Amino acid sequence: MALLDSITSPADVRRLSRTQVAQLTDEIRAFLVESVSRTGGHLGPNLGVVELTVALHRTFDSPRDTMVFDTGHQSYVHKLLTGRTDFSQLRRRGGLSGYPSRSESEHDVVENSHASTALSWADGIAKANQLQGRGHRHVVAVIGDGALTGGMAWEALNNIAAGQDRRLVVVVNDNGRSYDPTIGGLARHLDTLRTTQGYENVLSWGKRTLRRSGPPGRFTYDALHGLKKGIKDVVAPQGMFEDLGLKYVGPVDGHDEQAVEHALRRAKAFGGPVIVHVITEKGRGYTPAEQDVADRFHAVGQIHPETGLPLAPSRFGWTSVFADEIVRIGRRRRDVVAITAAMLQPVGLAPFAAEFPDRVFDVGIAEQHAATSAAGMAFGGLHPVVAVYATFLNRAFDQVLMDVALHKAGVTFVLDRAGLTGDDGASHNGMWDMAMLGIVPGLRLAAPRDEPTMRDALRTAVDVDDAPTVVRYPKGALGDPVPAVEDVDGVDVLARHDATRPGAPSVLVVAVGAMARTALETAELLAAHGLRVTVVDPRWVLPVPAALTKLVGEHDHAVTIEDGLVDGGIGALVAQRSHEVGVRTPVQTIGIPRQFLEHATRDQLVGDLRLRPNDVARDVLSALGRGADGPAEAQ
């Protein structure tokens, strides 16, 4: 790693000879495979942008020129070239973020892990440069073909084209994939650009055709028509960009550093908005990734660097349960269809697609469109199941509210990775959904605690045809089932502990979804102090069940435990509904505070946020005025 070790800033990259550049790209690939295999992270996307990122830093002057990556998981090479070479704690507390981070470097501007936003950022920065007397500076946005399917990207392109004197370069990193192969009209358009012959080949063919058509000066209709068609085939595809007023350069071999650099310098010299179309291969230079058709190397855990195989086998998890149950539902219900936003594999819809290929719709990175299209499908007599990561539903809130709920559309939203996810950082924690969806009229939300309740929730959700339903579940492995000991009007009672101290208060512990085990352990700690404790799980937490508010009124104190925002969350709604029906029992809410959380493991975040059973029990005892004799384990 002799050359890579000497790189402390982009200026070092610009001083390299051509031979050294080739050596540097080889070293970067070796470094990425070695480092990311130890920590986990987004390996495939970064192996695909090595030459592109080197060319960017040799052409532009960061941070004087601004670079924005969309999505930011392809920024590892950028980190290396800007002096951040310690990847030993990548995506771990105290180490480098898996995305650009302003706190890490002046070369980072946007923590851009929700796709399709970089072009809007670039447009705004370019406008600011122009108005602040920095019009000579360039803004470069690197966006993948997958992210370019998002509607926001096209809104931005429409505005970028209006600023013909703004120095803005859009690099389309075209590898034909996001998590899955890129779909839709844009994908077909880019594919045409990749495969169409160049001008020189068409013109050469045209000249040969004309020479064969007869004596000089006598051109047949067919020859002229053929030449015209050949030239049109070259010009028309890029016309989509040029019709917007954007100069187009490409397509360029993204693994030919000199060719990419040449194209970028042409774009830089133009002085206005330019599209540079670069063709790359995800996982380039790493044989296991190049040979993988399922794109397992988009994001990896710890793997063997030589084979690409995981160090530990994946455990049976929540997503697998959904994958199995939705297929069972699909066999029973021909009207059930599935929608994914470019994440067929990650959200568990691949088995459904294999069995029912005509009933799965991949809309690209377009969550807003997914929600409203689902409303249209519901109107047409189908029951759509929209499967997304919880953090990405935030992007479609208006559509859930105004297109689905307002029209009482029977659409089911399945939210994977709800709650704390940890290592991907602030933008990926699925902690906003319950507080956000709690204000949607008519919406029903289930938070299952285990496999049986999850399967039941999915079956119940798709049977609702006059309102939106939501089923949310966390990232990771499933534990053993948590059976109910009693059912109280649809609310599961998980445990009852009798009081062992005369006059001890009674406490109702309300578990929300995956926090059921935390609630049960909390109850045991409280019971050890003589309290009468009941643990319940409503399963369907929105709207708040009447049976739950009744149970609250039967206890001296209630505490809710959730892995979502405490402000406006389920606990806050339980307190509000209880008050509305005249219940005066105080409701103590335990959850995630309203703040962005730095990347760390889920266990670390749980400890920081005082969501461990010992912490919760101690806080409940303190609220009851018994803090001095709190559980010994919580001291």
Q: How far apart are CA 479 and CA 315, in angstroms?
A: 10
Annotated catalytic residue within 282, 284, 359, 449: 282
Strands 444-446 and 412-416: unpaired
Cα angle 228, 234, 238 (rounded to 5 degrees) comes to: 130
Q: Helix (H, G, I), strand (E, B), or coil: what is residue 534?
A: strand
H-type helices in 60-175, by residue range? 76-81, 118-131, 151-160
Q: Which tokens sit at 270?
A: 């133009």
Q: Helix (H, G, I), strand (E, B), or coil: what is residue 220?
A: coil
Cα angle 560, 398, 365 (rounded to 5 degrees) comes to: 100
Q: Is 73 annotated as a binding residue?
A: yes
The reply to whether omega before 305 is within 30° of 0 (cis) is: no
Q: Respond yes or no: is residue 200 known to be catalytic.
A: no
H-type helices in 245-356, by residue range? 257-270, 287-290, 318-332, 350-355
Neighbours of 183 (CB within 10 A): 18
Annotated catalytic residue within 284, 395, 475, 539: 395
Number of H helices, E strands in the chain: 25, 18
Q: Respond yes or no: is residue 367 known to be catalytic.
A: yes
Q: Respond yes or no: is residue 395 known to be catalytic.
A: yes
Q: Which tokens sit at 288?
A: 């296991």
Q: Is 286 annotated as a binding residue?
A: yes
Q: Is 145 annotated as a binding residue?
A: yes
195-198-201-202 Cα dihedral, nearest 10 degrees: 90
Q: Are 408 and 445 in contact (CB under 8 A)?
A: no
Nearest to 448 by CA among 464, 469, 424: 469
Strand order through the sheet with 139-144: 66-70, 139-144, 168-174, 274-279, 247-253
Tell me the torsion sign for CA atoms 276, 279, 285, 290: positive
Q: Is 114 annotated as a binding residue?
A: yes
Nearest to 598 by CA among 111, 45, 117: 111
Q: Are 386 and 364 in contact (CB under 8 A)?
A: no
Q: How many CA atoms lie within 13 A of 145 on its CB side?
A: 28
Q: Is 113 annotated as a binding residue?
A: yes
Give the total residue count for the chain: 635
Look up residue 386 and give its DSSP letter.
Answer: E
Neighbours of 349 (CB within 10 A): 26
Q: Is 204 annotated as a binding residue?
A: no
Residue 525: its H or E element: helix 516-527
Q: Helix (H, G, I), strand (E, B), or coil: what is residue 225?
A: helix
**456-473 b/e (C-beta count within 10 Å ≥ 16 → b):** ebbebbbeeeebbbbbbb
Q: How far apart are CA 148 and CA 188, in angstroms?
A: 13
Q: How many CA atoms lie within 13 A of 48 on its CB side?
A: 28
Cα angle 589, 593, 596 (rounded to 5 degrees) comes to: 160
Strands 168-174 and 247-253: unpaired
Annotated catalytic residue within 27, 257, 325, 367: 367
Q: Is 147 annotated as a binding residue?
A: yes
Q: Are 112 and 153 in contact (CB under 8 A)?
A: no
Report the binding-site residues for thiamine diphosphate: 73, 113-115, 146-147, 175, 286, 367
Which parts are annotated binding residues for Mg(2+)?
Answer: 145, 175
Which positions are catalytic? 282, 367, 395
Q: Mark the binding-site residues, compressed into ranges.
A: 73, 113-115, 145-147, 175, 286, 367
